Structure 1
Amino acid sequence: MSPSLLNQDDPLRHPEESSAPTRTKRAWTLWLLTLLVPGGAQVVAGNKRLGRAALTVTVACWALIVAAVVLLLVKRSWLISLVADSTFQLVGGIALALLALGWLALFLNTLAIIRPGLLAPGMKAIVPTAVVAAMVLTSGSLGYGSYVLLKGRDALSGIFASGPPIEAVDGRYNILVMGGDAGSDRIGLRPDSSAVWSIDAASGRTAVISIPRNLQNVPFPDNSPMHKIYPNGFNCGDECIFNAIYPTVAEKHADLYPGQDAGAEATKEAASAVTGLTVQAYVVVDMGGFKDLIDAMGGVTITSGGWVPYNTKKPWPGTTIKTHWFAPGEHHFTGNQALWFARSRDFTTDYHRIRRQQCLQQAMINQFTPQTLLTKFTGIMDTGKQIVHTDLPQGQLGDFVNLADMARKNAFLRLTLGAPDFGTAADKFSTFPDYELIHTRVDALVEKATDAGAKAAKEAQASKKAQASQKASDSAKASGSASSSAKASSTPKASSDTGSTVDENDGESTLKNHDDVPTTQPNGSPIDEDYLVRLEKSGLKYNLDLISQIAQNNDACTAG
């Protein structure tokens, strides 16, 4: 029998003489081939040349996918750096768009090969509908991937800098993160929140050194252009505080930093001199748009240790009081709520909000996972370009994404260059800072922010607890009485200082002496928002002081 007669009997290529069930089976076979093996339907039942070309592209795509999976498992930073490269994003975006069009064309060709007019009446609508659904699933997904790559290219180019990668100094990346309200033509002109993030390049362990906005007599490194203008530090009086460096340099000395963000560069140099660390990069965040980024991430979870006030435009009924309160406990904040939580300083101090900002920063790092980025990519990119700019190189994005992943595994160690880590607010350490002491404390902190340092700190803490327990036990035996034993067992707790501090082993804020913070009303019922509003409404100094006392531990918080 001749090949031509065999081909005429092939139901895949010649369905005219086949039964209705066979035609239906053929239709679904061709549909499935195009869905799973693009080009397969054309090879078995259509234009073989087109099918072979499509199969070649399909095999090449699968090879690239396998290579990407291997990179993801073996060297993820390379894969992320590649995807973050602007040239790759452009080429990849165009390639995905072409693949989407190609797959769409294959499905349309497959529908023609199926010949819906030959199908049974019940299948004439179902099969074309399935083909359209498959086109939406496949070509639609590739089209969205193209959109994401091209949108990411535009956004990342607007956020990150070009240029060579930065090198770790003494095994650490030190990055100045500043947050401030947007100005008329630039974000973050006067940063009210500044912190140096010192990240161990090997482990991702992170120390956050918060610099109060009112820090005075700020020095500049000898190699800074600002050192010639302020050889004795930024010491022109109460106006010369840390957060004034950015606008002062941007307005008066921009010519000293040609082609750069002069305010950010000068502030970065000042942060180096303040902390004693070599700060290699900066990130500026517009706090006014910060809420949009948190909303794009789906909110952020924080546990507050105390009552945190915030103000709204609408007063309480029958009053002029606009103060509302976040209660102690876990909260999943929207962007607006997170901004209120981070910026509130009513009834407390700047130092309280610094520590809440530290909690918020860690919470965002904890929740800024690859899954969050993938599922909420477009929203994050839309807001990120508007509110963030940095001199971190785009080509090193993969390295820093990996560091962020490692950083999430351990709580940040935190230090505030003011109260409560350097005395109380009344001591005015920020007004008369001791920079040698700051350098000593910062060095000790970053030493702990390594695997070896964390292990040593944990062992030292365990040894200290064991010694305290042994001392209490010896004291109890010596006293020979149960009451003496109880008193002795409480000795270690009584030796703690009062006030709020940071446990540098777990990085979380804790209140060492809760006795100073009221938790109940005079009638014995728990404090609630209504009670706090009544206290403020009275206007009595005693009641306002009582509110301040109740709010004193609102810097004690943990990241969700």
Structure 2
Amino acid sequence: MGAVKVLGWLALSALAPGAAHLRAGWRRTGLVLLSCYAALLLGLLWTVLTSGSLASLAGTLVDDASLTTAAVGSAVLGVAWFAMMVHSFVVLRPGSLRQAEQIVTGTVAGLLTVAVLVPFGATAQYAWTSRDLINSIFKNPTTDPQARQGEPAPRPEDPWAGRERVNILLLGGDADDHRPGVRTDSMNLASVDVATGSTVLISLPRNLEEVRFKPGTPMAERFPGGFRLPPDPGGGRSDLLNSVWEYSDAHPEIFGGRRHQGARVLMETIGYTLGLDVDWYALVNMWGFARLIDAIGGVTLTVERDVVFGRYNEGLVKAGARKLKGADAMWYARSRTNSDDYTRMRRQRCVLGALLDQADPATVLTRFNQVAAATKELIQTDIPRDMLTHLVPLAMKVQQAEVTSIQFVPPLINTGSPDWDKIRTLTRKEIRQSTGAAPVVASAGPTATSTATSTATPTPTPTKSRKKAAQPQEDDPARALTDGCGQL
């Protein structure tokens, strides 16, 4: 057998284990290898077919047991494949070739054998890194004493425990080694229809005053007329909505000595303000977010006008369509120089929309280690680990569904003296338009006493992004997520 044939049969064995053994006369070994290979392929096919859909399969793959199996299984298969390739080369008797052919054949065979290991090693590394990342961010109430207790256990027949919508509070915090506490300068509630993925993103401004707390809670007893504190020595205020988390954490005596109550209090407060139950929260460290943007190679967006930043206005993000690194993207989103909180909220929404559009699977995979390392420092959440199996398919629905947003900012809402009834009414309206049915509103708003409930179950139907015509915000304040981005 010539050198070309030896290498040809060896290459075929990389794709169909046992082929070289059959060619060399090792029939029993060849048939066993081919049978094992066929069983492996059939097992993978059965897994895909029984998963029901790509979204369900993706949900299954983030399960802890699945990731562990994938990591260990890939490592074992890689070693087995390597050994099979070495033995395949041996049984093809390369020693019968001329010396020059042996050198060339041995070199090429060695490279081919090592190359076979690469996909197995990459799969094992991705799976193990993913497992470590997910387990470091998401905890289960039974294993994590700080996770929320009393969560309804997900059931296979109804993982949402009767919910028609899932409400997740998305927070951007400014925690820093040089600043105590957490100020939530970005507060958005994503209300997602579990049947269709249609989502309403509800934005609340950081400077909302006289915040009302849920009746019967310790904060409501401390501030029965709304969140109000004496002005700071410098004339600023520490009783705005973005200070609720920090204040709650700083005053454990209000909660009978219990510490770390900020997240729970803010969830209750925003849920009460909007007339919704908040299921979970996810807090993103804004500067960790910059590292995530760097990890995917930056985001491309249109900067409407020059954005100045820095203590001495020494920084500048120049106007124009450009690819921004993480730090510039964050300054574009966060700078208040020559602008106001509401303009900043819109810029934050634009950065979020650009990231959602541009963080495609191919980009994430090619930069997986960087993304994983940045994400570890990025997110704090009380979403239970076991719910990821169901949230991943839902997230894939959201990518294909309608996402609209509403911002409770002037002139729609006076942040100094908010109309709580109006906030609650507009929230109900936008959720109703998103689902085509009355929304699940599980708690009364700040001035209401009754609980609204759903009157119909939405039917899953294909949805498209809703494009809003220019009209007064009073008539229809909802917007597509990236409406207004890149415009003066």
C-alpha contact (below 8 Å) 1:501/1:509 kept by paired residues: no
Matches within 5 A, 1:452-471: none
Alignment partners' CA distance in 2, 1:332 and 1:69: 38
Residue 61 of structure 1 aligns to a residue in which SS?
helix
1:445 aligns to 2:430 (yes or no): yes
Select the structure of larger CA radius of gyration. 1
* Superposition map of 1:243-258 within 5 A: 243-253=242-252, 256=255
After superposition, residues 417-428 of structure 1 pair within 5 angstroms as: 417-422=408-413
Q: Partner of 1:67 in structure 2?
A: 46
Question: What is residue 419 of structure 2 aligned with on the other side?
Answer: 434
The one of 201, 204, 219 aligned to 1:211: 204
2:339 corresponds to: 348
Letter of the structure 2 residue corresponding to residue 177 of structure 1: L
Give the unaligned 5+ runs of structure 1.
1-21, 314-319, 423-428, 466-492, 511-555
Indicate the larger mover: 246-255 or 281-290. Answer: 246-255
Confirm or deny: 8 A CA contact 2:48 2:57 kept in the other structure. Answer: no
* 1:191 corresponds to: 184
2:309 equivalent among 305, 308, 311: 311
Pairwise CA RMSD of aligned residues? 3.6
Q: Name 1:283's counterpart in structure 2.
A: 282
Distance 1:321 1:381, change over 3 A: closer
Q: Map of 1:114-263 to 2, 5 A cutoff?
A: 114-162=92-140, 164-165=153-154, 167=160, 171-184=164-177, 189-222=182-215, 224-237=217-230, 238-253=237-252, 256=255, 262-263=261-262
Write the deviation string for residues 462-501 of structure 1: whole angstroms up to 9, x where unpaired: 9xx9xxxxxxxxxxxxxxxxxxxxxxxxxxx9xx65x999
- How do 1:41-120 and structure 2 match up within 5 A? 41-45=20-24, 51-70=30-49, 74-120=52-98
Quick one: structure 1 residues 71 and 250, their matched pair in 2 at CA, closer, same or farther if it must change by over 3 Å?
A: farther
Residue 478 of structure 2 is matched in structure 1 by: 504
C-alpha distance in 2 between matches for 1:373 and 1:214: 35
Q: Which residue number corresponds to residue 405 of structure 2?
A: 414
Identity of aligned residues (%): 28
Matches within 5 A, 1:262-301: 262-301=261-300
Counterpart residue identity of residue 309, structure 1: V
CA distance in 1, matches of 2:258, 2:4: 67
Deviation of residue 54 (structure 1)? 3.5
1:295 partner SS: helix
Once residues 46 and 416 of structure 2 are traced to their aligned partners in structure 1, the CA distance between those partners, rounded to angstroms, is 57
Classify 1:289/1:389 alpha carbon distance in 2 versus 1 (closer, same or farther; 3 Å).
same
Scaled by the length of structure 2, the TM-score of the pair is 0.80
Q: State the partner residue of 2:363.
A: 372
Asked if the contact 1:294–1:334 (Cα under 8 Å) also holds between the matched residues in 2, the reply is yes
Aligned equivalents of 1:48 and 1:225: distance in 2?
77
- Give the residue type in structure 2 aligned to 1:397: L
Residue 353 of structure 2 corresponds to residue 362 of structure 1:
yes
Structure 1 Cα separation of the partners of residues 177 and 255 of structure 2? 22
The aligned residue for residue 401 of structure 1 is 392
| Distance change in 2, residues 1:92/1:76 (3 Å) | same
The separation in 2 between residues aligned to 1:172 and 1:157, in whole angstroms, is 25
- Distance (Å, rounded) in 1 between the aligned partners of 2:356 and 2:36: 39
Structure having the higher helix fraction is 1
Q: Matched residues in 2 for 1:185 and 1:364: separation?
A: 28
Q: 1:86 to 1:421 in 2, by over 3 A?
A: same
Q: 1:93 to 1:347 in 2, by over 3 A?
A: same
Distance in 1, matches of 2:313 and 2:287, equals 24
> CA, structure 1 residues 142+258, in 2 after alignment: closer, same or farther (shift >3 Å)?
farther
TM-score normalised to structure 1 length:
0.70
8 Å CA contact 1:180, 1:188 repeated in 2: no
Q: Deviations over 1:238-258 (max 9, x none)?
A: 422112111222232299599
